[in-house]
Amino acid sequence: MIRAAIAFFVLAIVAILFGAYGVAGLSVEIGKSLLVVFLILSVISFFVAIFTGRHQKPL
């Protein structure tokens, strides 16, 4: 999900360079939304791991 957020931010930068401000604004909003969802899910996962005593398996 973080990759999608980064991709939308990059798309926004490219769109601004080419003068497509409408696409850039939309891409930034989508990127912000995805980033917020990613951060919320990360925090929830962190607290669930702490309270349940379960840890992630090493890669």
Each domain of the chain, given as residue ranges in start order, spans 2-50
> pLDDT tens digits for 6-58?
787 888 888 878 877 777 788 888 888 888 888 888 888 888 888 887 666 66
> pLDDT tens digits for 25-38?
888 888 888 888 88
SS3 at position 55: coil
pTM of the model: 0.64
User: Phi-psi category of 57—alpha, beta or left, where left has phi over 0 and alpha has psi -120 to 50?
Assistant: beta
Q: Give 3-state DSSP helix, strand, coil % of the chain, rounded to 5.
A: 80, 0, 20
